[in-house]
Amino acid sequence: MKTKVVAVIMVLALFQIAFAGGILTNTNQSVQFVRMLARNASTQIDAVYFNPAGMTQLSDGFFLAFYSQTISKTRTITNSLAILNTNEYKGDIFVPVFPNFYAVYKKGKFAAAFGFEPVAGGGTADFKKGLPDLEMMALKIVAAMGISTVDLDFKGSSVYYGFQTGIAYALTDQFSASVGVRYNMAKNTYEGSIKNVMV
């Protein structure tokens, strides 16, 4: 019985870990992450984001890091409704600058840090044929007016900037503790159009 209870608790704990960051969290917060996808035990400058307690493992001094990535991808939304003009909606995303900045001051067992990064979002998606939801709304208008064609366009942008600061203290050579705060600021913009309506 005791083994079953422990097993259930462990499984529930894993669910918390799996969803800890949320569905929109950007994990590519350093160049080191691009090379090695596991940064949770980082003891380098990107520990400011990934492992704040690990900052105590840096040598004494002041550290600065600035990273920028260029991101280009296509987001595809599929739809199975037969009444829509297409079942595939493609949005092109291009992010020329995806910045990360970290600063750490380390002295003895103490470390203090500041970080800036886009913690979620970070790009603009341009859907040249619109989106299924927009087309369904337009279809109601089109059907009511007897219109045979319509040209839809949608462009959406979303970015959540994170500003964080924190301190860490080495309790022993093996264990450290940290505390910090992060302020997230969201900026979302949406632009859409219905053009070339022909009766």
135: enclosing H helix or E strand: helix 132-145
Q: Which residues contact 140 (CB under 8 A, 6 or more apart)?
A: none
List helix spans (H) across 27-128. 31-35, 47-50
According to the model, what pLDDT value does residue 112 have?
Answer: 96
CA distance 108 to 12: 38
> What pTM value is reported for the model?
0.71
Total count of residues recorded for the chain: 199
Least confident of 81-85, 104-108, 115-119, 169-173: 81-85
pLDDT digits (tens, 9 = 90+) for 87-135: 788 888 888 888 899 999 999 999 999 999 888 877 788 877 777 766 6
Strand partners, 7: none
